[in-house]
């Protein structure tokens, strides 16, 4: 074939994501080629949750599919902004869990936060604008920035201090660094994740407040990616309750993937000022036309019934405790068997561990010799060159595998 793919894609092919490469290495056939038993593979690689969706949520799908008229409705286009009833129930969900005072006009629904972030970048910034991220951060953003805002510049604010292996050890200094970078580089977007991927830390209230003060009435948005909002292990900070009516430059990105184990049932939403919501409607119109109707109907049905019988909070609480326990088991095993520095998660599914050498080589060596998969840190930002991300999310229902996997690595390293 003589016809070329776009230059953008050709460039992407030349710089494949290190995470995707390692996940490929862990594919069944490759594990067999390495002389290992795929059944014995223990993976700390996956960025997903593995607890069960509430039964009543599953039943809301059954009820829709079992009713001829409802099922017929679920096959219709939704409005581009999302169904009114679903947006109303999102407001109720946020009020019940985090005391957010939200209006349906400040909510737009999409096909998960990945699509919404892509459309949000297009909606609020222009090619060439700068974007500030914490180092390290969620690696998918780098590709999304390239795809949506060609030639945009990425600015890193230090999150993980490599020397002490602590997260934001000196808040005053981080705020000062932020102020300096902001003045020098004038970013259009500041993007934080809380609880964070990959560090498992909750961004401190004081930092978020300082950022909001510094960018107040300037041409900048702060996006907080709340993909892991329900997986907090300590008292959640105050900004978990902030609403767009109080903070018009704050955009909260939400996902249905993690709290309800609906990763493949694509649904997410954005909470923002109406101007941003209206802009996103225009972008979504061209991109996805409308969010998935069946998932919106099932979500609305579940939230309505789980608020009525008081089961929503109980479910969130129970799953939250599971992840907290899995995080503790992971860190205890790292302390006992690896004796490496690791961050104690305050939420989410991950910790980052200092392996003291190039993490690409470390991860490949460990996989070949133990059948345990870790994720090398380089793809998350420069601070994690000698670090790995360990995800306990997929093993939340099999925590004995967490200890077994870490012990296997410890046994190998000590030989």
Ligand X SMILES: Cc1ncc(COP(=O)(O)O)c(C=O)c1O
Minimum CB separation from ligand X for residue 355, in Å?
A: 21
Minimal distance, residue 146 CB to ligand X, in Å:
17
Residue with smallest beta-carbon separation from ligand X: 255
Binding residues for ligand X restricted to 203-262, rule: CB under 6 A: 225, 227, 255, 257
To ligand X, the closest distance from the beta carbon of 412 in angstroms equals: 28
Looking at beta carbons only, is 338 or 390 nearer to ligand X? 390
Size of the site for ligand X (CB under 6 A): 13
> Is there binding between residue 263 and ligand X (CB under 6 A)?
yes
How near is the Cβ of 267 to ligand X at its closest, in Å? 8
Residue 268 binds ligand X, judged by CB under 6 A: yes
Residue number with CB closer to ligand X (291 or 410) = 291
User: Site residues for ligand X, window 22-51 (CB under 6 A)?
Assistant: 47
Nearer to ligand X, 111 or 338 (CB): 111
Binding span for ligand X by CB under 6 A among 3-11, 23-31, 110-118, 295-303: 110-118
Residue 114 lies near ligand X (rule: CB under 6 A): yes
Our finding on whether 93 is near ligand X (CB under 6 A) is no
* Nearer CB in complex with ligand X: 50/370: 50
CA dihedral for 303, 307, 311, 315, sign (positive or negative): positive
Q: Which stretch binds ligand X (CB under 6 A): 1-9, 75-83, 109-117, 335-343?
A: 109-117
What residues between 115 and 154 interact with ligand X by CB under 6 A?
138
Binding site for ligand X (CB under 6 A): 47, 112-114, 138, 193, 197, 225, 227, 255, 257, 263, 268
């Amino acid at each position: 074939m003589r016809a070329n793919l776009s230059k953008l894609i050709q460039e992407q092919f030349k710089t494949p994501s290190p995470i995707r490469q390692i996940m490929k290495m862990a594919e069944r056939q490759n594990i067999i080629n390495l002389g290992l038993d795929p059944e014995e593979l223990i993976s700390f690689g996956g960025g997903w949750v593995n607890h069960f969706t509430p039964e009543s949520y599953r039943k809301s799908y059954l009820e829709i599919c079992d009713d001829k008229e409802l099922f017929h409705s679920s096959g219709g286009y939704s409005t581009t902004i999302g169904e009114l009833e679903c947006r109303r129930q999102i407001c109720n969900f946020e009020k019940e869990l985090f005391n957010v005072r939200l209006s349906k006009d400040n909510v737009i629904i999409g096909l998960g936060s990945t699509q919404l972030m892509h459309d949000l970048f297009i909606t609020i910034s222009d090619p060439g604008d700068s974007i500030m991220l914490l180092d390290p951060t969620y690696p998918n953003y780098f590709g999304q920035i390239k795809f949506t805002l060609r030639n945009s510049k990425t600015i890193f604010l230090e999150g993980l201090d490599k020397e002490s292996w602590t997260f934001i050890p000196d808040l005053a200094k981080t705020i000062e660094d932020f102020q300096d970078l902001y003045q020098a580089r004038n970013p259009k977007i500041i993007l934080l994740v809380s609880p964070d991927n990959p560090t498992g830390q909750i961004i401190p209230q004081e930092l978020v407040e300082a950022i909001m003060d510094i960018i107040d009435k300037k041409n900048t948005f702060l996006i907080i990616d709340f993909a892991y909002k329900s997986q907090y292990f300590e008292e959640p900070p105050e900004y978990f309750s902030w609403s767009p009516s109080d903070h018009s430059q704050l955009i909260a990105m939400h996902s249905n993937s993690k709290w309800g184990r609906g990763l493949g049932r694509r649904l997410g939403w954005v909470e923002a000022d109406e101007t941003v919501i209206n802009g996103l409607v225009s972008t979504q119109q061209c991109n996805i036309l409308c969010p998935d109707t069946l998932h919106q109907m099932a979500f609305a049905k579940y939230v309505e019934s789980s608020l009525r019988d008081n089961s929503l909070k109980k479910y969130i609480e129970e799953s939250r405790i599971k992840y907290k326990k899995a995080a503790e088991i992971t860190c205890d095993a790292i302390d006992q068997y690896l004796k490496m520095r690791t961050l104690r998660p305050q939420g989410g599914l991950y910790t980052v561990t200092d392996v003291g050498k190039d993490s690409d080589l470390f991860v490949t060596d460990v996989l070949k010799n133990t059948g345990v998969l870790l994720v090398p840190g380089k793809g998350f930002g420069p601070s994690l060159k000698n670090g790995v991300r360990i995800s306990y999310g997929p093993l939340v229902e099999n925590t004995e595998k967490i200890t077994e996997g870490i012990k296997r690595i410890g046994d190998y390293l000590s030989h």
